[in-house]
Amino acid sequence: MAGTNPRTRDWVVSILATTVFCLAIAVATKLIWAGKWYEHIAISFGYGYCAVFSAFAISKMWPSFPLLRINGLSILFSFVFGTLNAYLVLSHYSAFSGFSDIVPVAFLGLVLTAGCFFYFYAYEQKMIAERELEIAKRKQSEQEKALILSQLKQLQSQIEPHFLFNTLANIQVLIDSEPTQAKQMLSKLTDLMRATLKTNTKELISLREELVLADAYLGIHQVRLGERLQYSIDYDTAIDQVQLPPFLVQPLVENAIQHGIEPNGAGGEIKIEATKQDGLIEIRVEDSGVGLEAPSSHNGHGVGLANIRQRLQAMFNERASLSIVQNSLGGVTASIRIEDGDLVCSPVP
């Protein structure tokens, strides 16, 4: 009954269940008392169908009535009209020549009808509670999703100005001393902003788009640092379309440059790798800079790293993590790990 109204479906189920119940009662009474099969069936169905259809009629005429009141009135109608039907069926027997002779049958019909109704009442109350719980869970899920998306947008809005202002400050420094490099960096920034605008309205972008942005960002700093900065980006093409919140990698690259490469007089190399292994997707940003213990001229407050952790928590809960470790041969490796099952592997429209 796919596509039918839930209330209609409930009534159909009630009628089917009542039919089965009445047949079972007819069989039981036939085994106890004599009489023709059709008489037992007629009496049993008289009580059962009268109860069901009177409940249906009452709920249609007075939809504001509570379920318990509807059931109580239905039992009353079932008792009156079911008993009248039983008398008409049995009146040709001498033992049921008077209406008072039908009292035992009426009492049995009342007990069975009331028992049946209270069973269905409890069942329907349970179904109503389950539907309301499902609706509440769905609303809660939608609210949580809206909250997460709002948090992601808020956190992303904190990252983008931070990145943009730092880059413009670098260009400003180079305008007087190295105008050619400033022009090249401005050109790279234009390319980066153009790519950023394509993804700025998306809540999620592909891993490949994220690494393209990181490549453009590193290109800007390579113009500024010249031979002091070398970099490479390598990723598994099988996972290049998994969806991530934007600007997860860029703050890691920014930290690698500011706290690793720049303080190192000889410069260094940054490697970005994205791999999938043992059900985990890992994105690593490794630098060959001065490491965690060396002093840095940049007095950062960890805004970028804090935002990454918050965004991972908002999107993936405990199924994603960010770690920062010092390499044994110098430098730092920042790693984002996300369970593969939590990632969408097709582009978001």
* Count of H-run helices and E-run strands, the chain: 8, 7
> Cα separation of 57 and 73, whole Å?
11
pLDDT of residue 349: 37
pLDDT of residue 84: 82
Q: Can you tell me the mean pLDDT for 246-269?
A: 88
> Cα separation of 54 and 208, whole Å?
65
> Cα separation of 285 and 308, whole Å?
14
Share of the chain above pLDDT 90, in %: 13
pLDDT above 80 for 221 = yes
Q: Measuring CA to CA, how many Å separate 178 from each of 184, 188, 189, 264?
A: 10, 15, 16, 21
pLDDT above 80 for 248 = yes
Please, are residues 252 and 163 in contact by the beta-carbon 8 Å criterion? no
Please, are residues 25 and 44 in contact by the beta-carbon 8 Å criterion? yes
pLDDT above 60 for 25 = yes
Extract the tokens encoding 250: 């860029």
Extract the tokens encoding 3: 């596509």
> Cα separation of 214 and 261, whole Å?
16
H or E stretch covering 306 = helix 303-316
> Cα separation of 257 and 254, whole Å?
5
Extract the tokens encoding 164: 């943009």
Pairing of the two strands 229-235 and 268-277:
parallel
Residue 92 C-beta-side C-alpha neighbours within 13 Å: 4
Looking at every residue in the chain, the average pLDDT score rounds to 78
Q: Find, among 293, 296, 222, the residue nearest to 259 by Cα.
A: 296
pLDDT of residue 230: 94
- Of the ranges 70-84, 90-104, 226-240, which is most confident? 226-240
Query: How confident is residue 48, by pLDDT bands cut at 50, 70 and 90?
Result: confident
DSSP-derived letter for residue 320 is E
> Cα separation of 179 and 155, whole Å?
34
Q: Find, among 51, 185, 31, the residue nearest to 111 by Cα.
A: 51
pLDDT of residue 163: 62
pLDDT above 60 for 26 = yes
Q: Can you tell me the mean pLDDT for 171-175?
A: 82
Backbone angles phi, psi at 281, to 5 degrees: -100, 125
Q: Measuring CA to CA, how many Å separate 306 from each of 224, 251, 294?
A: 27, 10, 21
If phi > 0 it is left, if psi is from -120 to 50 it is alpha, else beta; for residue 343 that is beta
Which residues, other chains included, contact 195 with Cβ-Cβ below 8 Å and sequence gap of 6+? 209, 212, 213, 216
Q: Find, among 226, 330, 220, 207, the residue nearest to 272 by Cα.
A: 207
pLDDT of residue 341: 60
Please, are residues 173 and 186 in contact by the beta-carbon 8 Å criterion? no
> Cα separation of 262 and 232, whole Å?
17
- Of the ranges 105-109, 111-115, 275-279, which is most confident? 275-279
> Cα separation of 17 and 21, whole Å?
6
Extract the tokens encoding 305: 């790293």
pLDDT of residue 2: 45
Identify the three-state secondary structure at position 94: helix
Q: Find, among 244, 200, 195, 245, the residue nearest to 219 by Cα.
A: 195
Residue 189 or residue 159, greater confidence: 189
Q: Can you tell me the mean pLDDT for 187-202?
A: 74
